[in-house]
């Protein structure tokens, strides 16, 4: 069964528009960890954020913000005032226990920002 | 310094060749990973080393052979590969401190492998 669902396959926006990427997860564990990674065309996965299940605080880092809602099992990611350099594939991932090495990745959302 | 390096960046090999992929990190991480990623798909875990010992093998064919010579280095030895093994091979590392937490993995730039 799919543990992480990223329903949006591709999103295309014009520069300076905001874009929100949806991530819905499924787990029976009470302790779990959520991650977002960015993969630009060069191929390297870049770590963006880690959130544990006990910390529902939303977070903002520059133009990036994350909205974690346990009630809806969602961990959404918003890019504000998008730039061409934000063009990439974004993956949401779930780890289901402390020191669990396995990351369950979503299928990824391809974001294209047009100048 | 959150850097994981991988060599080579690109590799083309025939089905009878033997080659190796190399990965290095100097972040003091004690867990290291190999992933395989096909185009337009998420990464798939292949192997995990924890404290230089193989911890997870995700039923990977024996033509892929991992090796962890020390805590900073991870190799993937390739032999008799098939064309369907062509993919991006990613190395990653993370902290590994028992049952305290689940740490983010830091990825290298990958090796694009083509098997002809």
Beta bridge partners, A52, equal A33
Question: How far apart (Å, rounded) are the C-alpha atoms in residues A97 and A32?
Answer: 5
**A35 touches B: beta carbon within 8 Å:** yes
DSSP letter at A42 equals T
Tell me if the bond preceding B48 is cis, omega within 30° of 0.
no
Question: How far apart (Å, rounded) are the C-alpha atoms in residues A102 and A6?
Answer: 18
| Res B2 pLDDT > 80 | no
A42: region left, alpha or beta (phi > 0 left; psi from -120 to 50 alpha): alpha
| Res B13 pLDDT > 90 | yes
**Yes or no, beta carbons of A101 and B88 under 8 Å apart:** no
**A60 touches B: beta carbon within 8 Å:** no
Q: Strand, coil or helix: what is A51?
A: strand
Chain A residues with CB under 8 Å of B100 CB are 98-99
Question: How far apart (Å, rounded) are the C-alpha atoms in residues B18 and B36?
Answer: 18
CA of A81 vs chain B CAs: smallest distance (Å): 26
Q: Are strands B87-94 and B31-37 parallel, antiparallel or unpaired?
A: antiparallel
Mean pLDDT calculated for residue range B82-91: 97
CA of A43 vs chain B CAs: smallest distance (Å): 6
Which chain B residue's Cα is nearest to A91?
B42
Q: What is the average pLDDT score of chain B? A: 92
Question: How far apart (Å, rounded) are the C-alpha atoms in residues B83 and A30?
Answer: 42
CA angle at B62 for the pair B58 and B65, rounded to the nearest 5°: 85
- pLDDT confidence tier of residue B97, bands split at 50, 70 and 90: low
pLDDT, tens digit, for every residue of B45-72? 999 999 999 999 999 999 999 999 999 9
């Amino acid at each position: 069964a799919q543990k992480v669902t990223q329903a949006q396959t591709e999103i295309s926006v014009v520069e300076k528009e905001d874009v929100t990427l949806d991530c819905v997860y499924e787990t029976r564990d009470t302790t779990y960890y959520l991650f977002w990674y960015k993969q630009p065309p060069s191929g390297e996965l870049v770590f963006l954020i880690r959130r544990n299940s006990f910390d529902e605080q939303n977070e903002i880092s520059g133009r990036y913000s994350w909205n974690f809602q346990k009630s809806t099992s969602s961990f959404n990611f918003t890019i504000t005032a998008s730039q061409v350099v934000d063009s990439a594939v974004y993956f949401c991932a779930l780890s289901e226990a402390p020191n669990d090495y396995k990351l369950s990745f979503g299928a990824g959302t391809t974001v294209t920002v047009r100048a | 310094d959150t850097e994981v390096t991988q060599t080579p960046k690109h590799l083309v090999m025939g089905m009878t060749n033997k080659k190796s992929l190399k990965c290095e990190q100097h972040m003091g991480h004690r867990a290291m990973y190999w992933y395989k990623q096909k185009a337009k798909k998420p990464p798939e875990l292949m192997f995990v080393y924890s404290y230089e010992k193989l911890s997870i093998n995700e039923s990977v064919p024996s033509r892929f052979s991992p090796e962890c010579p020390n805590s900073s280095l991870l190799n993937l030895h390739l032999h008799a590969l098939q064309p369907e093994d062509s993919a991006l091979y990613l190395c990653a590392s993370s902290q590994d401190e028992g049952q305290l937490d689940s740490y983010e993995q830091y990825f290298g730039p990958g090796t694009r492998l083509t098997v002809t």
